[in-house]
Structure 1
Amino acid sequence: PKNLDNFRLGEYDEPTVRDYEVKIQVKATSLNYRDWALANGWFGYPGEVLPMVPFSDASGVVTAIGAGVTKFQPGDRVAVNFFPDWHDGAFSAAKVARSLGGSTDGVLAEYVTFPEAAVVKVPDAFSFEEA
Structure 2
Amino acid sequence: IADVIAVNKADGPHADDARRAARELAGAIRMLRGHGTAWQVPVLTCSATEGTGLDAVWAKVMFHQEQLAADGELERRRQRQQVSWTWRMVRDTLEHDLREHPAVRDLAPEMERAVQAGELTPSLAAKQILDTFRDR
Q: Is TM more than 0.5 here?
A: no
TM-score of the superposed pair, with normalisation by structure 2: 0.19
Calculate the TM-score normalised by the size of structure 1: 0.19
Larger RCO: Structure 1 or Structure 2 (Cα < 8 Å, ≥ 6 residues apart)? 1
Which is richer in helix? 2
Higher strand share: 1
